[in-house]
């Protein structure tokens, strides 16, 4: 054990892992980080933290960090370390040549939900204003893009309705497709605190997550539905609420479109949508659905929290709208203790979406086809913008295979490991003439890159993150970047190599530009954040101090919109060759593809991805706990060890996706959400057979 000594100074900054957004005092001795201490005045965490934020920062100084730019002419060659000037001019020359030969639409990029708002804003500005296309997307595409679509359609804005404090006023907490104690531990603890005080809990999840039964907590209802049947289950609950006269008609008449409500009520009241009929689809006993629906509708303040178990389905956007319908029909919106709350997986996924990372939207969720909005940005940036939406990530990869898309700039994302159907991602990347990866480590995607631009950690930069409750918080530089540049400076240098002439000297200037161009950020500034620690958007003339709870007097879109969400089964079917359904998730001590957590001591807690399987399915295959298995789908196969447990129902298996050795996404499919193309990670038909190991 190396003795470090007492800290000499501390910097308050924001965690770079999940969307809870805990703040910490980073305690330093000289240029060395001694420890991360949860900040007692942190609005999101109030002095609490989880193991990742507190201890998993060793990756910042890990020997795998790449701190010098590298280039190579083709991916079969070894990397060559070069100066920043050479890497940037190599990139700019290639980008210019591809644009000349194939047009602006052959270029694009991906922003990172782990980078700051300012960095994300600059990447989309570079792509729109410099590359000349709207081919910009973000990792939210593969997680919460249905939240954006669903909540914007029903409520008028693509964000959660409540602050975290709101849970203290909840009487009934409905958790669907989320595992807060692993995925969002600090908020999960607050939820548990409220449950211990007597709030009732409904869990809708194929797996028996910890919340269902833990010390002093027992869910009133756990509805272990068949993966892929969320819409059917939520429709059955709505059927009970409407047919038993439990709808809050006064709320609906005053706050929602009454005609649309009536259409929706007629739809959910049909016999085909009763819990008894839909039991054949969801496999949840009708009586349990009836009781859960009654509890949510009549138990007082009802709050819904959801995660990727809602969004990552072929009906992800429909499920988000079905949740919004439930909240509106019961009047559970617009005050403390209620609402619809997406739990955001990554530290700044809310911010990445807010900052215009989608191919059809400029910052502030304004459509690229809107001439007035475009004119605002064109005047400010001195460019002409393409009025047509660009490619989504999956479209970029498809177009690359077809020869139409040729160059990509990827900041802080490892799409080869995180996106579905790994083989297709590899084919798309391999077909491109130029892949620029801007990251901390040589990740899996970098195997297909021609330029590697070293990135900076959250400890090495200034800027802001926006958490799951729309809270904008400062990220403050704790130490100098190992590579000599913060990520926003790298993007600026690339822009200037293309001749754009940017001259930002601090992220506060980028934040000023964001505020100037984005109405919901109009009142946000670095100075104000320094004084007030955080602000919850919208911060504007109407809400000068921000808005902890949204849609209080009216929905952002005016009247709340009920949307008919008919259950449509996924095309991913089980059958004799693939009789089991695989669903995926995360574990507390690891984070996403594990680039950071695998490079800390946390890895000892979860050194490999395991396949959870019900004892009856294991017995049928002659498998014992710890045995190696081959997990095979129509897309591909991988090898991992089995964990025999009754947490999952017979017919369902579950794994995490943290380790490249497993590459769980080699088995996931190309099916995706009908509205947003968010991949259907949560439903894959598989077979599991004994194996001798990798």
- Residue 459 in the binding site for ligand SF4 (CB under 6 A): no
What is the token pair recorded at 221? 């209802």
Q: How far is the CB of 191 from ligand SF4 (least distance, A)?
A: 12
Position among 12, 13, 21, 518 found at the interface with ligand SF4 (CB under 6 A): 21
Q: Which of residues 581-610 bind ligand SF4 (CB under 6 A)?
A: none
The one among 25, 43, 52, 659 contacting ligand SF4 by CB under 6 A: 52
Window of 84-92, 181-189, 204-212, 526-534 that interacts with ligand SF4 by CB under 6 A: 181-189
Say whether residue 523 binds ligand SF4 (CB under 6 A). Answer: no
From 466, 465, 468, 439, select the one nearest 451 (Cα to Cα). 439
Which residue stretch of 17-25, 157-165, 253-261, 308-316 sits at the interface with ligand SF4 (rule: CB under 6 A)? 17-25
Is 449 a binder of ligand SF4 (CB under 6 A)?
no
Q: How far is the CB of 175 from ligand SF4 (least distance, A)?
A: 16
Does 191 bind ligand SF4 (CB under 6 A)? Our answer is no
What's the min distance (Å) between Cβ of 593 and ligand SF4? 15
Q: Shortest distance, CB of residue 14 to ligand SF4, whole angstroms? A: 8
What separation in angstroms does the CA of 147 have from each of 306, 310, 430, 468? 10, 9, 31, 12
Between 114 and 682, CB nearer to ligand SF4 = 114
Answer for which of 53, 148, 339, 345 binds ligand SF4 (CB under 6 A) is 53
- Paired with 472 in beta bridges are 466, 535
* Shortest Cβ 50–ligand SF4 spacing (Å): 3
* Span from 49-57, 169-177, 267-275, 278-286 in contact with ligand SF4 (CB under 6 A): 49-57
- Per CB under 6 A, 175 contacts ligand SF4: no
Instruction: Choose between 589 and 668: whose C-beta lies nearer to ligand SF4.
Output: 589
User: What is the smallest separation between the CB atom of 209 and ligand SF4, expressed in angstroms?
Assistant: 16
* Alpha carbons 456 and 60: distance in angstroms, whole number: 9
Task: Tally Cβ neighbours within 10 Å of residue 630.
Answer: 17
Residue listed under structure tokens 């802001």:
464
**Which of these, 476, 455, 607, 600, lies nearest to 65 by C-alpha position?**
455
Kindly state the tokens that stand for 172: 């009934």
Establish if 17 lies at the interface with ligand SF4 (CB under 6 A).
yes
Residue 571 CB coordination number (10 Å): 11
12 binds ligand SF4 (CB under 6 A): no
The count of residues interacting with ligand SF4 (CB under 6 A) is 14
In the bound state with ligand SF4, the residue whose beta carbon lies nearer, of 570 and 596, is 596
- Residue among 12, 13, 20, 400 that touches ligand SF4 (CB under 6 A): 20
Closest CB to ligand SF4 among residues 53, 390: 53
In the shown chain, the binding pattern of residues 77 to 96 toward ligand SF4, with x for contact by CB under 6 A and - for none, equals --------------------
- Residue 22 as a binder of ligand SF4 (CB under 6 A): the answer is yes
- Listed residue (296, 44, 308) closest to 190, CA to CA: 44
- Is 527 buried (19+), middle (13-18) or exposed (0-12) by CB count in 10 A? exposed
Is residue 534 at the binding interface for ligand SF4, with CB under 6 A as the rule?
no
Copy the structure tokens of residue 474: 């400062």
Nearer to ligand SF4, 38 or 548 (CB): 38
> What is the distance, to the nearest Å, from the Cα of residue 309 to the centroid of all Cα atoms in its chain?
11
Shortest Cβ distance from residue 26 to ligand SF4 (Å)? 13
Alpha helix stretches (DSSP H) within 199-314: 230-243, 249-255, 258-269, 275-282, 286-298, 308-311
Asked if 343 interacts with ligand SF4 (CB under 6 A), we say: no
**Of residues 134 and 597, the one with the C-beta less far from ligand SF4:** 597
Strands 361-362, 471-475: pairing kind = unpaired
Q: Is the peptide bond before 82 cis (omega within 30 degrees of 0)?
A: no
Token pair recorded at residue 117 = 């708002």
Residue 452 bridge partners (DSSP) = 70, 437
**Distance from the Cα of residue 147 to its chain's centroid:** 10
Own/partner pairs, 75-82, CB within 8 angstroms, 24+ separation:
75/430, 75/447, 75/448, 75/449, 75/450, 79/452
Query: N- to C-terminal Cα distance for the chain?
Result: 34
Least distance in Å: CB of 589 to ligand SF4? Answer: 10
Helix (H) and strand (E) counts in the chain: 22, 28
**Residue 302 binds to ligand SF4 (criterion: CB under 6 A):** no
Binding residue (CB under 6 A) for ligand SF4 from 45, 229, 589, 590: 45
**Binding flag, residue 185, ligand SF4 (CB under 6 A):** yes
Rule CB under 6 A: choose which of 136, 186, 393, 397 binds ligand SF4.
186
17/578 with CB nearer ligand SF4: 17
State the nearest-atom distance from the C-beta of 465 to ligand SF4, in Å: 9
> How many CB atoms are located within 10 Å of the residue 398 CB?
17
Burial class (CB in 10 A: 0-12, 13-18, 19+), 280: exposed
Residue 32, CA distances (Å) to 10, 12, 118, 277, 460 in order: 11, 15, 26, 62, 12
**Closest CB 590 distance from ligand SF4, rounded Å:** 11
The least distance separating ligand SF4 from the CB of residue 21, rounded to whole angstroms, comes to 6
Nearer to ligand SF4 by C-beta: 348 or 518?
A: 348
For residues 459 and 478, is the Cβ–Cβ distance under 8 A?
A: yes
List residues near ligand SF4 by CB under 6 A: 15, 17-18, 20-22, 45, 49-50, 52-53, 184-186
């Amino acid at each position: 054990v190396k003795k470090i000594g007492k800290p000499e100074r501390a910097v308050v900054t924001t965690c770079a892992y999940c969307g809870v957004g805990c703040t910490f005092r980073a305690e330093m001795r000289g240029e060395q980080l001694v420890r991360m201490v949860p900040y007692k005045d942190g609005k999101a965490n109030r002095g609490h933290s989880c193991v990742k934020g507190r201890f998993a920062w060793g990756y910042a100084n890990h020997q795998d960090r790449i701190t010098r730019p590298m280039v190579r002419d083709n991916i079969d060659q070894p990397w060559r370390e070069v100066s920043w000037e050479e890497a940037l001019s190599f990139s700019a020359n290639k980008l210019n040549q591809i644009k000349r030969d194939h047009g602006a639409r052959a270029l694009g990029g991906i922003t990172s939900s782990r980078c700051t708002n300012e960095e994300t804003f600059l990447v989309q500005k570079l792509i729109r204003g410099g590359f000349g296309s709207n081919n910009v997307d973000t990792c939210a595409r593969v997680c919460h893009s249905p939240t954006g679509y669903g909540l914007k359609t029903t409520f008028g804005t693509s964000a959660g309705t409540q602050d975290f404090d709101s849970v203290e006023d909840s009487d009934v907490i409905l958790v669907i497709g989320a595992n807060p104690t692993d995925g969002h531990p600090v908020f999960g603890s607050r939820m548990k605190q409220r449950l211990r005080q007597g709030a009732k809990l409904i869990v809708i999840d194929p797996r028996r997550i910890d919340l269902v039964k833990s010390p002093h907590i027992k869910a009133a209802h756990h509805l272990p539905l068949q993966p892929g049947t969320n819409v059917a289950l939520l429709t059955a609950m709505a059927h009970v609420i409407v047919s038993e006269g439990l709808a809050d008609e006064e709320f609906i008449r005053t706050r929602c479109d009454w005609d649309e409500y009536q259409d929706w009520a007629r739809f959910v009241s049909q016999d085909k949508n009763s819990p008894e009929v839909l039991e054949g689809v969801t496999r949840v006993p009708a009586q349990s659905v009836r009781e859960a629906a009654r509890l949510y509708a009549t138990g007082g303040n009802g709050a819904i929290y959801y995660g990727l178990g809602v969004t990552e389905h072929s009906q992800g956007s429909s499920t988000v709208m079905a949740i919004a319908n439930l909240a509106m029909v019961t009047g559970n919106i617009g005050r403390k203790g209620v609402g619809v709350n997406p739990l955001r997986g990554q530290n700044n996924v809310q911010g990445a979406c807010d900052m215009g990372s989608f191919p059809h939207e400029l910052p502030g969720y304004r459509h690229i086809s809107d001439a007035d909005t475009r004119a605002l940005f064109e005047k400010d940036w001195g460019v002409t913008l393409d009025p047509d939406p660009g490619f989504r990530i999956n479209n970029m990869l498809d177009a690359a295979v077809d020869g139409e898309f040729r160059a990509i700039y990827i900041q802080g994302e490892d799409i080869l490991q995180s996106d579905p159907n790994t083989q297709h991602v590899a084919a798309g990347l391999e077909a491109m003439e130029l892949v620029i990866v801007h990251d901390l480590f040589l990740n899996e995607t970098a195997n297909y890159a021609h330029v590697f631009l070293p990135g900076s950690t959250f400890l090495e930069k200034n800027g802001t993150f926006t958490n799951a409750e729309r809270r904008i918080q400062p990220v403050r530089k704790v130490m100098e970047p190992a590579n000599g540049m913060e990520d926003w400076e790298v993007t600026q240098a690339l822009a200037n190599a293309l001749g754009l002439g940017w001259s930002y000297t601090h992220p506060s200037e980028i934040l000023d530009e964001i505020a100037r161009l984005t109405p919901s950020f109009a009142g946000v500034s670095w100075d104000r954040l320094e004084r007030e620690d955080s602000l919850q958007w919208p911060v504007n003339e109407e809400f000068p101090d921000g808005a902890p709870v949204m849609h209080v007097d009216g929905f952002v879109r005016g009247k709340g919109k009920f949307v008919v969400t008919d259950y449509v089964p996924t095309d991913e079917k089980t059958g004799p060759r693939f009789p089991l359904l695989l669903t995926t998730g995360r574990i507390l001590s690891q984070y996403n593809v594990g680039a950071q957590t695998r490079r800390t001591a946390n890895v000892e807690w979860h050194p490999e991805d395991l396949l959870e399987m019900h004892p009856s399915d294991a017995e049928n295959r002659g498998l014992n706990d710890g045995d190696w298995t081959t997990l095979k789908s129509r897309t591909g196969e991988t090898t991992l060890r089995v964990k025999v447990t009754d947490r999952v129902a017979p017919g369902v298996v579950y794994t995490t996706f943290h380790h490249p050795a497993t590459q769980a996404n080699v088995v996931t499919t190309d099916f995706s959400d009908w509205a947003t193309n968010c991949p259907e990670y949560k439903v894959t038909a598989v077979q599991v057979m004994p194996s001798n190991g990798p």
